[in-house]
């Protein structure tokens, strides 16, 4: 389902880009020129502007809708977590241990740990024997 919506979304993006580039800008741009003459041509300048403006609005609305649907689908499988609960990080490998609470808290580990030897004051020079 998600893949189908992504393909539709990408087709909307490409068509929206094309429609925007086809619109006549103030300088002429890539707009579809409707040749000056007095006849009622198929794509007159006013008719093409209305058509391209409507197409842009419709494509933008569809793009917005597919974006919302994709974000809803992506967030459907997520479970909410709380940073206030200490139990959420205990099962995660590489996560820091809780400071005070719990069975294996950092303070409890430090209470039972043997004292570390004092660090040397300066760099040690190897001595020959």
The answer to the question of residue 61 being in a domain is: yes
The pLDDT assigned to 101 comes to 53
The answer to the question of residue 92 being in a domain is: no
The answer to the question of residue 84 being in a domain is: no
pLDDT digits (tens, 9 = 90+) for 83-119: 787 554 455 566 555 555 556 666 666 777 666 666 6
The answer to the question of residue 114 being in a domain is: no
Domain range for residue 64? Answer: 1-21+50-76
The pLDDT assigned to 23 comes to 84
Report the number of distinct structural domains present in the chain: 1
* Angle at the Cα of 85 from the Cα atoms of 83 and 88, rounded to 5 degrees: 85
Higher pLDDT, 57 or 37: 57
The answer to the question of residue 103 being in a domain is: no
The pLDDT assigned to 66 comes to 96
The answer to the question of residue 123 being in a domain is: no
The answer to the question of residue 129 being in a domain is: no
Contact by Cβ (8 Å): 57, 7: no
Contact by Cβ (8 Å): 82, 88: yes
Higher pLDDT, 46 or 100: 46
The answer to the question of residue 9 being in a domain is: yes
The pLDDT assigned to 126 comes to 80
């Amino acid at each position: 389902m998600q893949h189908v919506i992504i393909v539709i979304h990408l087709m909307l993006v490409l068509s929206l880009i094309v429609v925007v580039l086809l619109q006549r800008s103030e300088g002429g741009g890539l707009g579809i020129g409707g040749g000056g003459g007095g006849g009622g041509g198929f794509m007159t300048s006013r008719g093409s502007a209305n058509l391209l403006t409507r197409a842009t609005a419709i494509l933008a609305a569809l793009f917005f809708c597919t974006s919302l649907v994709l974000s809803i689908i992506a967030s459907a499988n997520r479970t909410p977590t709380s940073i206030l609960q200490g139990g959420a990080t205990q099962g995660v490998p590489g996560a820091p241990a809780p400071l005070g609470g719990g069975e294996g808290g950092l303070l409890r580990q430090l209470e039972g740990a043997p004292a570390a030897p004092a660090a040397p004051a300066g760099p040690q020079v190897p001595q020959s024997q």
